[in-house]
Amino acid sequence: MSLPLMEQGQQWLMERLGTLSVKEQHQLSAAILRTGKLEELADKTGWELQTAILHMDPEVAVDAVNCLLSLDGYEVCFPAGSYAQLGRFYLQHEGHLPERAMYYADLESLGRRYEDQHPGLFIGDCYVEYPEHPSAPRYTGQGIIPEDDEWSVKVKLSSPAVPEGVWLRLPDHSLVNDGKPDEVEIALHELRVNSLEDCVLMDARCCIPQLGDLMEQFADAQELINAGNDLGYALEEQGQGMPHFTERFATALEFENCRDLRLALDIIQNLHCYEWVLRDDLKDFGRRKLLEAGVSENLLDSDCINLEGYGANLLEEAGYVLTSDESAYIARNNREFLYEWSNPEEVGMTLQ
């Protein structure tokens, strides 16, 4: 029996399973084994895993989809393929024991102690911790599968030892997580190389499709991964609490006709250089401007003035542009736009 998913659901599964990073494969194996229902999938990867899930009993297939939706709750310790390695991982990243003092530590006992405090299981060269509080199933088998949006760029790399390549998912959080190895180091280990310089860039995907073909924009894996990390960190920070951050960023990308990841990185760091008015706020905007001009509140409250139309007219005269979805008006202000990634002459932007 085939999984009764609409075409959109099947495409979601094919894309999600087809671009699983090495870290995610370990997380998925742990999530699958924890269910107690999907053990036959635990050792499958790639197309074999896709085919198996798409042709499973519907109820079990839904469990597999929910496993995919819960991966971010599974912490991965690497390298930690044994109790001794897990003990060393603990001392390096949480116990902060000096390297020379590790010779006096019972690493295996420490690893078992860590397992008692953080239940999980060994998968390959990793120890995968179970979530402290398992998340409720997010998909019931009906409707649209929730969006997989907790990433910025996915990169596929190959090496002489692994010519078919592996995926990694950005941002890599090692730089902001006390140096704990994350996506990049786990992928390099799987590729059996020491650095990104030893890898070949095979494919890349961006969470913002309109940014175009990343393979044409980047020839160097390290530079692409740096850019993907910066985009990921910025998306996670959400402009440090800026209201409507996601909508503002999308609107600015459209305003600049952005089709390049480097320019997108500059835009996301310069959102203060754009003035932005929601179409839903046009009435309040028009009212405020008339009050500033000395119009009485009694007249404005009479419903005899089209405040929304007046507000739109003011914005258009000031050079604001209505977005394609007609949700907001946007314009550049005179604040300095700082370029870190892109060259303004190459992308055709006008300095204000």
221, 266, 269 from 263: Cα distances, Å: 18, 5, 10
Predicted TM-score of the model (pTM): 0.89
pLDDT tens-digit series, residues 297-352: 999 999 899 999 999 999 999 999 999 999 999 999 999 999 999 887 766 665 44
pLDDT tens-digit series, residues 213-262: 999 999 999 999 999 999 999 999 999 999 999 999 999 999 999 999 99
**Cis (ω within 30 of 0) for the bond into 79?**
yes
Q: Which of 8 and 21 is assigned the larger pLDDT? A: 21
pLDDT tens-digit series, residues 171-216: 999 988 888 999 999 999 999 999 999 999 999 999 999 999 999 9
2, 58, 98 from 73: Cα distances, Å: 28, 24, 30
Instruction: Specify whether the CB–CB gap between 315 and 277 falls below 8 A.
Output: yes
pLDDT at 40 over 80: no
Residue 293, C-beta contacts closer than 8 angstroms, at least 6 positions apart: none
Confidence band for 1, pLDDT divided at 50, 70 and 90: very low
Instruction: Specify whether the CB–CB gap between 78 and 85 falls below 8 A.
Output: no
In terms of C-beta density within 10 A (0-12 exposed, 13-18 middle, 19 or more buried), how is residue 90 classed? Answer: buried
Query: Of 43, 118, 131, 36, nearest to 83 (Cα)?
Result: 118
